[in-house]
Amino acid sequence: METSRPVPSPLLGTVLAVAVTEGDRVTAGDRLLVLESMKMEHPVVSPVTGRVSRLLGVVGLAVGPGDLLAEIEPLDGEGDAPVGPDREVRSPGGPGPSPGGVRADLAEVRRRQELTRDGARPEAVGKRRRLGKRTARENVEAVCDPGSFVEYGALAIAAQRGRRELGELLARTPADGLVAGLGRVEGAPVCVLAYDYTVLAGTQGQLNHEKKDRLFALAEHRGLPVVFFTEGGGGRPGDTDATTVTGLETMAFALFARLSGRVPLVGVASGRCFAGNAALLGCCDIVVATADATVGMGGPAMIEGGGLGVVGPEAIGPVAVQEANGVVDVVVADEIEGAALARRAVSLLRGRTGEWVAPDRETLREVVPANRREVYDVRPVLATLADVGSVLELGPAHAPGMVTALATLEGRPLGILANNSLHLSGALDAAGSAKAARFLGLCRRSGLPVLFLCDTPGFMVGPEAEAEGLVRRAGDLFIAGAALTAPFATVIRKAYGLGAQAMAGGSFRSPVLIVAWPTGELGGMGLEGAVRLGFRRELDAVEDGPGRQALFDDMVARAYERGQALNVASHFEIDDVIDPAETRARLVQVLWD
């Protein structure tokens, strides 16, 4: 018969609990006692099946490594049994299984997680449905590839334990009103956040500010695009658990603004979006809004509180106003379209796209009128030049003389800046210059090549134009063009004066390629103005009447011949005059490596 097997202490500690007495029969792996060391519990188990012949360990006894705790006398026919990590060893007082066989601690985690899901709040979800809207979680999941979203801070609740019961907070303030985490768009990681209007009107609480800080830091560290659904009413004064007085030390706004220029930022506004929520929206590179959105730096309560009268929320920054003034870049019908457009914008801004279809290149020969003086809509030019269905115009209702769009050529994203001759004959006014400068900044920050479609008589002139601050806005446009780092190219239909240079990054020597179509014409200033200014003496020498007009027309005709694209190209002031049908191929060859 085998002699008794000693059971030594495996470490330095104190006996916390004893599970057996001398004479007890034990099976290999059964717990004999528990040691406490460094605030952790370390079970000591029997090495064999047998009987406890000696027990030295008592509660409170301090032991060191190797000290004898017990002896086990093996029983005949019983051998050693392996003791591994798969054997359940439960600490004294630890959670036991629930009636369903799930440990109590895990069951509580599952219960709390379930409270954060839409299914736990049928009344709140039903209200969203009646408004024709989706929940915050549905919007987040619609942006992300299926199954890719990993939420941060789902178990957070409003910092109002001092005024509400925990059960109420768990039921009514899941995630503290902000669903936030990391997901993927077309397989690439992205940061997605959405205020939950069903939780305290989507206001900004203490913990959801901290969640924003956490996610913005991750976005900066990993270089991730951010998509943010910003519906909500701004700051929340009802959080009583915070130690702060003013909240002005909140970091979220500084952290989010710091992301601008480092990662693409796409904001989506639906319904009411005021104060702090609107401030975050305004930091975004691309602002998308649903048709029912109202966006403002102050909501009804702030307006009334400031003694400015009583104003309904729908009257504060409706989409019609915010689209015209340039706050909103794209208007969509609803959140379904908003989420889809956010995915598309992220892909374009990060230079990732999927399959593409080439347009009929032959039609590009006919979209520009043969009559040099006839205006036309430039948007069909964009649609015919870019991949089919790829053009995403930004701000169509704002500064209509300048068209800004993201698109793809053979699946590769680029920015397109085009003069619209339907407005001021394509002249660059203050609003158009500012819009163009901002767009070029977006392209520079995103590393996108730029295509300038130049069809302009130059900068707008006159007292009214100057009253809008044109000098400064024109300067901003030249600065933005000079700051471009990715390749850019210019295609010309009409190019006159400083406005034409602005549509070429500041100089006709700045683009990697500058070409004209066959109807192209160029000049240091408008032909008619150049003749009147440069040949005033000759014109004044002829009596006013048909003779002077005939001389003027002849001089303009000769100036036009001199400024025709073919003649300008023969002096090598532009790189070439090309068949419009060859434009795509030329651009693809020079804009990307």
| Whole-structure pTM value | 0.86
> Phi then psi for 484, rounded to 5 degrees?
-60, 135
Q: What is the CA radius of gyration of the chain?
A: 36
Give me the mean pLDDT over the 473-484 stretch.
Answer: 98
Which of 6, 13, 3, 48 lies closest to 29, judged by CA? 48
Whether 154 is covered by a domain: the verdict is yes
Domain span at residue 568 reads: 361-591
Kindly tell me if the per-residue pLDDT of 83 is higher than 50: no
First to last CA, the chain: 83
Q: Which of 33, 67, 84 is the last residue of a domain?
A: 84
**304-360 pLDDT per residue, tens:** 788 888 888 888 999 999 999 999 999 999 999 999 999 999 999 988 777 899 999
DSSP one-letter code for 343: H
The reply to whether 325 and 431 lie within a common domain is no
Torsion of CA 469, 473, 474, 480, to 10 degrees: 170
Distance, CA of 534 to CA of 46 (rounded, Å): 108
447 Cα distance to chain centroid = 16
Q: Which of 33, 63, 84 is the last residue of a domain?
A: 84
Instruction: Give the sign of the dihedral formed by CA 11, CA 14, CA 19, CA 23.
Output: positive
Q: How many domains does the chain have?
A: 3
Whether 101 is covered by a domain: the verdict is no
**354-384 pLDDT per residue, tens:** 789 999 988 999 999 998 889 999 999 999 9
Q: What is the mean pLDDT of the chain?
A: 91
Instruction: Give the sign of the dihedral formed by CA 433, CA 437, CA 442, CA 447.
Output: positive
Contact 504, 490 (CB under 8 A): yes
Name the token pair of 586: 């030329």
> What pLDDT, on the 0 to 100 scale, is given for residue 88?
43
> What pLDDT, on the 0 to 100 scale, is given for residue 229?
98
> Phi then psi for 501, rounded to 5 degrees?
-65, -40
The reply to whether 334 and 451 lie within a common domain is no
CA-CA distances (angstroms) from residue 416 to 313, 353, 419, 460, 487?
36, 17, 10, 21, 12
The reply to whether 336 and 386 lie within a common domain is no
The reply to whether 119 and 260 lie within a common domain is yes
Min mean pLDDT across 76-80, 115-119, 131-135, 476-480 is at: 76-80
Kindly tell me if the per-residue pLDDT of 95 is higher than 80: no
> What pLDDT, on the 0 to 100 scale, is given for residue 377?
96
Give me the mean pLDDT over the 257-279 stretch.
Answer: 95
Whether 424 is covered by a domain: the verdict is yes
> What pLDDT, on the 0 to 100 scale, is given for residue 272?
95
CATH number at 426 reads 3.90.226.10
Distance, CA of 267 to CA of 545 (rounded, Å): 61
The reply to whether 375 and 303 lie within a common domain is no
Distance, CA of 405 to CA of 395 (rounded, Å): 9
> What pLDDT, on the 0 to 100 scale, is given for residue 97?
61
**401-441 pLDDT per residue, tens:** 999 999 999 999 999 999 999 999 999 999 999 999 999 99
Distance, CA of 291 to CA of 317 (rounded, Å): 12
Distance, CA of 345 to CA of 351 (rounded, Å): 10
Q: How many CB atoms lie within 10 A of CB 202?
A: 26
The reply to whether 311 and 206 lie within a common domain is yes
Give me the mean pLDDT over the 85-89 stretch.
Answer: 40
The reply to whether 269 and 379 lie within a common domain is no
Contact 563, 457 (CB under 8 A): no
Contact 503, 417 (CB under 8 A): yes
Whether 100 is covered by a domain: the verdict is no
> What pLDDT, on the 0 to 100 scale, is given for residue 86?
39
Name the token pair of 263: 């990662």
The reply to whether 299 and 390 lie within a common domain is no
The reply to whether 74 and 118 lie within a common domain is no
The reply to whether 402 and 323 lie within a common domain is no
> What pLDDT, on the 0 to 100 scale, is given for residue 352?
72
- Between 586 and 555, the higher pLDDT residue: 586
Which of 206, 104, 203, 121 lies closest to 156, judged by CA? 206
Contact 171, 158 (CB under 8 A): no
> What pLDDT, on the 0 to 100 scale, is given for residue 556?
72
Contact 66, 46 (CB under 8 A): no
Give me the mean pLDDT over the 276-300 stretch.
Answer: 95
> What pLDDT, on the 0 to 100 scale, is given for residue 307?
85
Reading across the β-sheet that carries 25-26, which strands appear in turn?
Answer: 5-8, 68-74, 50-55, 25-26
> What pLDDT, on the 0 to 100 scale, is given for residue 87?
38
> What pLDDT, on the 0 to 100 scale, is given for residue 534?
64
Q: How confident is the model at residue 28 (pLDDT cuts 50, 70, 90)?
A: very high
Distance, CA of 228 to CA of 444 (rounded, Å): 22
The reply to whether 451 and 317 lie within a common domain is no
Contact 453, 410 (CB under 8 A): no
> What pLDDT, on the 0 to 100 scale, is given for residue 98?
60
Q: Is 306 helix (H, G, I), strand (E, B) or coil?
A: coil
Distance, CA of 171 to CA of 162 (rounded, Å): 16
> What pLDDT, on the 0 to 100 scale, is given for residue 89?
40
Reading across the β-sheet that carries 13-18, which strands appear in turn?
Answer: 40-45, 31-37, 13-18, 62-63
Which helix (H) or strand (E) is 346 found in, with range?
helix 335-349
Whether 105 is covered by a domain: the verdict is no
Whether 398 is covered by a domain: the verdict is yes
The reply to whether 388 and 410 lie within a common domain is yes
CATH number at 61 reads 2.40.50.100
Whether 430 is covered by a domain: the verdict is yes
**517-574 pLDDT per residue, tens:** 999 999 977 666 666 666 677 777 777 777 777 777 776 777 788 889 999 999 999 9
Distance, CA of 580 to CA of 43 (rounded, Å): 81
**501-522 pLDDT per residue, tens:** 999 999 999 999 999 999 999 9
Whether 573 is covered by a domain: the verdict is yes
3-state secondary structure 181-212: EEEEECCEEEEEEEECCCCHHHCECHHHHHHH
Q: To the nearest whole percent, how much of the chain has pLDDT over 70? A: 93
Q: Which of 349, 369, 392 is the last residue of a domain?
A: 349
Which helix (H) or strand (E) is 497 found in, with range?
helix 497-502
Q: Which residues contact 235 (CB under 8 A, 6 or more apart)?
A: 203, 204, 247, 275, 276
